[in-house]
Chains A and B, each alone.
Chain A
Amino acid sequence: MATLKDIAAKGSPLAGGHRMCAGCGIPIVVKLVLNASPEPVVVVTATGCLEVASSIFPYSAWRVPWMHSAFENTAATAAGIESAIRALEKKGALAQRINVVAFGGDGGTYDIGLQALSGALERGHRFVYVCYNNEAYMNTGIQRSSATPLFSSTTTSPAGRVIPGKMQPRKRLTEIVAAHPVKYAAQASMGNWKDLYTKAEKAFRIDGPAFLNVYTSCVPGWNYPEHESVEMARLASDTCFWPLYEIEDGRVRVTYKPREKKPVEEFLKRQRRFRHLFTEANRGLINKIQEAVDEEWERLLSLDKSGLKVF
């Protein structure tokens, strides 16, 4: 296992000076994932925070080949690149193996890009898809996505006098991906670098599609002090609000079990998107979230324990 020093010594594929917000979790995810690749990488990115903040012409923060073409088609664009690589490999025209990595936010992955992602997964292209999941459309001003958690307040699911934020739970995308099936799909977090790096290393070893759903804190979207980004992401896993697990060859393995499972309230209370829950009237909603988190956590643990090939 590489130490943080080892990883840092590899240099950064992303140069400083990009325009991502102070405290943004995305660069951490990008650097950790790309540095886990033993081979050179080429990167495709969906329209979104990472894209707009890293590539404002005439500057580019990318030290690796990087491409953006549109919002909903990142997996399809990656599939095209991977097919070109295959074609060149067949001709013996490629000097070395190149890994294709796609980055999309939860908007570009859970929602508008899901069809293209599903198609690319089913066809079995050899690429690593990374969803930097900050649980809403942050680039366009914090609108709800299907990754937005229950009762979260966003600009299109605002907590109002009648409706307390988003009324639907988030989609279980990692399992949807696993059900294609793919050999490797995992939930990771920017708050747990070792777990993320290990999963990225595994993903790059897969001869086919691999998927990483990486929890990524967002300062303007969740609204907490910017120096607390890593802590926020850690809290999400320590409360089991964002469980860390992997699905390898159809078997679920929980990769992080907090020594002390903290109440979900500790995670929620530090963010403005859940502020409206902390009133006497909405007290019951926090309990509902806790119940849902507990149920999900128990479900994952039992899947893990069963050892069954569930996907």
Chain B
Amino acid sequence: MSAQVKRQMLALTGNETIALAMKQIHPDVVAAYPITPSTTVMEKFAEYVANGEVQTELVTVESEHSAMSACIGAATCGVRVMTATSSQGFALMWEMLYVAASLRLPLVMAVVNRALNSNLNIHCDHSDSMGGRDAGWIQLYSEDAQEVYDNLIQAVRIAEHPDVFLPVMVMSDGFYVSHSVFNVTPLSDEEVREFIGTQPRSPYNFLDISNPITVGPVDLPDYYMEHKRLQAEAYYHAKRVVKEIGEEFGKRFGRSYGYFETYGLEDAELVIVIAGTAAGTTRYVVEQLRREGRKVGMLKMRVFRPFPQEEICAALQNAKAVAVLDRSDSFGAFAGPMYTEIRSALYEASSKPKLINRIYGLGGRDLRLSMHMRFFHNLRHCWKVVAMLNATIIWA
């Protein structure tokens, strides 16, 4: 409680918040390459390094591919490692994202979401991180700067949990969060230290000269699948651990986290599922409509990997109709990535809601209140229509 007194609310941009979290986590090594809109994270962090506020080895690499490679090299040595990126940088890392996860390295990366080329667009959508959804990283999405902060602190604990040992990426919406000023209440340095521990935990130590190990060998058809199976098991554990740490965080600091946040879901007939900043607008619309007596609700995704399918199914199965709003498309698939997963999760449900998908906000296109109203209107309509499959996916 005494620690709580020391906490104060600050006015910070999303990226300043990420940099502050990094400063408090105090990683041993940070390797990163600047890219809009995550650039100012590294600028601020470089300032901390230059002023001696952190003793981190900052490796200003020549590309994001090298950023992730250097992070991987460093993390094998059992030290705490972080990085940040966006968009094309994330895409350039893609090859190494798989390596980081497969080598079971507890890295933490802040992803400031931005659209992918072509055409070049620096604004927010989730195409970058959604493109890496199968790379083996734990994915936490955030609505605002406070959530980014809380997710980053928890990410260290999740990544370094001995049952997990997997990398974690924490997403925030480019510009909407990164460059907007929020009220943020960070933990004190001591609270962070105490929560994450000063001694990083890692699955192995490459620098143990007396016990030399071979990392990343050739793995042929006789063993490769066994190793992948072992990796797959880590995500079952990760699902449990993410929840436990979210609850522990809540008990200690008063802000609890689960797989997702719900609003009005107990009696909602019409539900919008969304991730990121647009959840704020959704919440406002839900409030308005509920004030009018409409039974509407929201489910805001936080943990996309590991995907909480049973929990999603339980949370949505009593709704009459659900609109899943994807801020990226999965080209050639039958819908956006979040929709596809949620629809699949609902296959187990005893009663299935009607489902529609909306692709919205690509390249930073705003999601307006009027659009939300229309979604709910669409939902009410589709609930009453029996054959609606052909109209499930609409670009908002």
* Chain A interfacial positions (CB closer than 8 Å to B): 40, 42, 44, 51-52, 55-58, 60, 62-70, 72-73, 75-88, 90-91, 94, 96, 98, 115-116, 118-120, 122-123
Number of interface residues of B (CB under 8 A): 44
Q: Is the CB of B28 within 8 A of A77?
A: no
Whether A64 contacts B207 in the complex (CB less than 8 A), given A76-B73, A123-B59, comes out as no
Please indicate the chain A residues that have their CB under 8 angstroms from the CB of B185 in the complex. none
Q: Is the CB of A122 within 8 A of B209?
A: no
Binds A, one of B60-68, B306-314, B369-377: B60-68
Q: CB of B74 within 8 A of chain A?
A: yes
Q: CB of B72 within 8 A of chain A?
A: yes
Distance in angstroms between the alpha carbons of A52 and B220 in the assembled complex = 10
Of all A-B residue pairs in the complex, the 10 with the closest CB atoms, nearest first, are A80-B73, A119-B62, A80-B70, A55-B217, A76-B66, A84-B77, A73-B69, A76-B69, A60-B214, A87-B28
* Chain B interfacial positions (CB closer than 8 Å to A): 28-29, 31, 55-57, 59-63, 65-67, 69-79, 81, 95-96, 99, 103, 206-209, 212-220, 223
Closest-CB distance, A64 to chain B (whole angstroms): 5
Please indicate the chain A residues that have their CB under 8 angstroms from the CB of B31 in the complex. 79-80, 83
Distance in angstroms between the alpha carbons of A88 and B216 in the assembled complex = 23
Whether A69 contacts B209 in the complex (CB less than 8 A), given A57-B223, A83-B31, comes out as no
Please indicate the chain B residues that have their CB under 8 angstroms from the CB of A65 in the complex. 206-209, 212-215
**Inter-chain pairs besides A57-B223, A66-B213, A80-B72, 19 sampled, C-beta below 8 Å:** A42-B207, A51-B218, A55-B217, A65-B207, A65-B215, A66-B214, A67-B76, A68-B217, A69-B69, A69-B215, A75-B66, A77-B72, A79-B61, A83-B31, A84-B76, A84-B77, A87-B79, A118-B62, A119-B61
Distance in angstroms between the alpha carbons of A294 and B265 in the assembled complex = 81
Q: Is the CB of A76 within 8 A of B70?
A: yes
- Which of A73, A88, A122 contacts B207, CB < 8 Å? A88
Whether A69 contacts B96 in the complex (CB less than 8 A), given A76-B66, A77-B73, comes out as yes
Q: Is the CB of A83 within 8 A of B59?
A: yes
Q: Is the CB of B217 within 8 A of A85?
A: no
B56 (CB) vs chain A CBs: closest residue: A87
16 pairs, A vs B, C-beta closer than 8 Å? A56-B218, A57-B223, A64-B212, A67-B215, A69-B103, A75-B66, A77-B72, A79-B61, A79-B70, A81-B74, A83-B59, A84-B78, A86-B57, A87-B57, A98-B209, A115-B62
Q: Is the CB of A81 within 8 A of B57?
A: no
Q: Is the CB of A115 within 8 A of B77?
A: no
Q: Is the CB of A56 within 8 A of B206?
A: no
Please indicate the chain B residues that have their CB under 8 angstroms from the CB of A78 in the complex. 73
Q: Is the CB of A88 within 8 A of B65?
A: no
Closest-CB distance, B28 to chain A (whole angstroms): 4
B226 (CB) vs chain A CBs: closest residue: A57
Closest-CB distance, B167 to chain A (whole angstroms): 13
Q: Is the CB of A88 within 8 A of B212?
A: no
Please indicate the chain A residues that have their CB under 8 angstroms from the CB of B216 in the complex. 55, 67-69
